[in-house]
Amino acid sequence: MKDQAEKLREIMRKKVFAVASGKGGVGKTTVSVNLSVELSRLGKKVLLIDGDISLANADIILGVSPKKHIGHYIQGNSSIDEIIERVDTNLYFVPGASGVAKLTNLTENSLKKIKDILSYFQADVTIIDLPAGIGKNAISLGMIADIIIVVVTPDPVSVTDCYSFIKVLTKSGFEGKIYVIVNMVRNQREKDVTFNTLNKVSQKYLGIYIDLLGHISYDESVKESFCLQKPYVKTFPRSKAASDIKDIANKMLQIA
């Protein structure tokens, strides 16, 4: 029988990643879903939480139709077990809510209930797909994580908004590691310029160093898989984007 201290140490060893973006439309949720699928295929027990509490869409990309969502649990209408969907052998999913006005600003009690999910469900890796932008929910949920992965595109507006997210997060007291994924990359130069620009301003104005976790190539199969409502690592496993996701998932295992 494991004592309480040993159980606590086991919980502490499990990494919680939060996937963020400074703005919508950069592919954050698509990245979260495909990373979760790939990590589960690598043999890890993965819990994906749709942290976009009021405007959820990870279920669409996963191709599932959940009966319950995290809003039911937060509002006391469901248990944790009732909101966790088993998607595949090693992949579990907590759906977000859509159109629930009461959840647009999470209370301290709501955040505690979300933390209770992490303690209750013993995953090897947990990924929280944050709401886009720098709103209260995005920052509050980001503070729960051990590691932040910020998704950015070569678009200058995306870079600026990504920096804004990192700034607000660090000013809020986040002390974990921050990584970057450059998405929709058409060539090596786009990747280098995007990351180097973000890294330099973070060092200069915030005094922090961020690391490049990887990049994902611009790939038409990503759009096609979205229309099919299936992750592209499953529908197009030989695509450039799927290959890039596999590389990133393997890097995540090294820091998880």
pLDDT at 12: 45
* Contact present, 225 and 11 (Cβ < 8 Å): no
Please give the single-letter amino acid code of residue 248: I
Q: The CATH number of 4-255 is which of 3.30.70.270, 3.40.50.300, 3.30.360.10, 3.30.70.2200?
A: 3.40.50.300
pLDDT at 104: 76
Angle between helix axes 188-206 and 156-171 (nearest 10 degrees) is 30
pLDDT at 11: 45
pLDDT at 101: 62
- pLDDT < 50 regions, the chain: 1-2, 8-12
pLDDT at 56: 79
Q: Give the DSSP H or E segment for 111.
A: helix 108-120
What are 123-141's pLDDT values in tens digits?
999 999 999 999 999 999 9
* Residue 49 DSSP SS3: strand
Q: Name the pTM for this structure.
A: 0.93
* 204: number of Cβ within 10 Å: 8
Map out the domains of the chain as residue ranges: 4-255
Instruction: Please list, in sequence order, all residues whose beta carbon lies within 8 angstroms of the beta carbon of residue 75, skipping any fewer than 6 positions away.
Output: 102
Place of tokens 């509050």: 140
DSSP state of 55: B
